């Protein structure tokens, strides 16, 4: 991992702000790719002796009105790069496929399969001096993932390390048959925001890791249909843990 100069948190469903971030300024920025989802909230990590500047970005907008397939991922990542961010911890709500991905629990993914179909997924398109292929064998930063894991152990917050994230287009949830296919593909969790975010971070050489919150059993894996109420309830449980976890990560960086 490169030196952790500036950390960003990209908050997902259920995490549109961070209470323990002492916000010193908000900046509305624009990029060559358009507007990011929200203003960048700059903060100093509370209780710090030396200051680590941190940036918070609400992926779905401050009022949670941008659906996963409409997020301007390029603008978000570009804005963070321009802000000097060297590491991103992304928070993503997911459906659980593997038996231990119980609603309300947390998991740090280590692999991704991209099933999205209509998103702009690269910065390397035009005005290139040469064709560029990034290495993406291991999409998440091992060191940053370990930092999250260590913080969780310190606070005794249960978190599973290691899962393959299936990124789907959405915004509809999957069919039961689609989930069976993902299971055969060895996917453990399914969500709509993991890609192209992780790949764009890699293109910009920003270390990237994710904390996923299991919001529901994926389609067809429980007797009940998936309701927004149930998702919201489980996300709230998971996000409470995530907030505490981020607080501990902040402390460990001081």
Which residues have a Cβ under 8 Å from the Cβ of 141 and sit 6 or more positions away?
A: 1, 87, 207, 208, 209
Q: Does 94 bind ligand HPA (CB under 6 A)?
A: yes
What does the block give as tokens for 137? 């064998």
Least distance CB 189 / ligand HPA (angstroms): 8
> With CB under 6 A, what is the number of residues at the site for ligand HPA?
12
Q: Out of 152, 215, 221, 239, name the contact with ligand HPA by CB under 6 A.
A: 215
Cα-Cα-Cα-Cα torsion 95, 109, 21, 243, nearest 10 degrees, comes to 50
Of 94 and 112, CB closest to ligand HPA: 94
Q: CB 66 → ligand HPA: shortest distance, Å?
A: 15
67: left (phi over 0), alpha (psi -120 to 50) or beta: beta
Residue 73 or 250 with smaller CB distance to ligand HPA: 73
Where in 128-187 is the site for ligand HPA (CB under 6 A)? 168, 173-174
Output the smallest distance, CB 250 to ligand HPA, in A. 26
By the rule CB under 6 A, 190 interacts with ligand HPA? yes
Q: Is 37 in the site for ligand HPA (CB under 6 A)?
A: no
Indicate the SS3 state at residue 38: coil
Residue 203 in 3-state DSSP?
Answer: helix
Q: In angstroms, what is the minimal distance from the CB of 11 to ligand HPA? A: 14
Residue of the chain from 38, 216, 242, 248 that contacts ligand HPA (CB under 6 A): 216
Give CA–CA dist 201/87, Å, rounded.
9
Give the DSSP H/E element, type plus range, for residue 147: helix 142-154
Q: Cis link prior to 196 (omega < 30° from 0)?
A: yes
- The least distance separating ligand HPA from the CB of residue 241, rounded to whole angstroms, comes to 16
* Phi/psi at 235 (5° precision): -65, -40
The residues of the shown chain that bind ligand HPA, judged by CB under 6 A, are 93-95, 168, 173-174, 190-192, 215-216, 218
């Amino acid at each position: 991992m490169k030196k952790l100069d500036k950390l960003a948190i990209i908050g997902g469903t259920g995490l549109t702000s961070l209470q323990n971030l002492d916000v010193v300024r908000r900046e509305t920025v624009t990029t060559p790719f358009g507007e990011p989802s929200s203003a960048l909230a700059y903060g100093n990590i509370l209780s710090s002796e030396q200051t680590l500047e941190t940036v918070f970005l609400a992926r779905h907008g401050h009022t949670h009105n941008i659906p996963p397939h409409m997020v301007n991922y390029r603008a978000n990542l570009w804005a963070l790069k321009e802000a000097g961010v060297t590491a991103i911890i992304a928070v993503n709500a997911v459906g659980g496929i593997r038996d231990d991905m119980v609603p309300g629990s947390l998991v740090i993914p280590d692999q991704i399969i991209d099933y999205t179909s209509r998103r702009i997924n690269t910065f390397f398109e035009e005005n290139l001096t040469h064709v560029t292929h990034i290495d993406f064998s291991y999409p998440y930063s091992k060191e940053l993932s370990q930092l999250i894991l260590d913080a969780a152990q310190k606070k005794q917050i249960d978190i599973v390390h290691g899962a393959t994230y299936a990124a789907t287009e959405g915004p509809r949830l999957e069919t039961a048959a689609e989930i069976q296919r993902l299971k055969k593909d060895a996917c453990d969790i399914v969500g709509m925001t993991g890609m192209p975010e992780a790949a764009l971070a890699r293109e910009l050489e920003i270390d990237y890791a994710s904390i996923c919150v299991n919001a529901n059993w994926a389609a067809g894996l429980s007797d009940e249909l998936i309701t927004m109420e149930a998702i919201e309830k489980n996300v709230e449980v998971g996000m409470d843990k995530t907030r505490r976890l981020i607080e501990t990560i902040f402390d460990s960086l001081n």
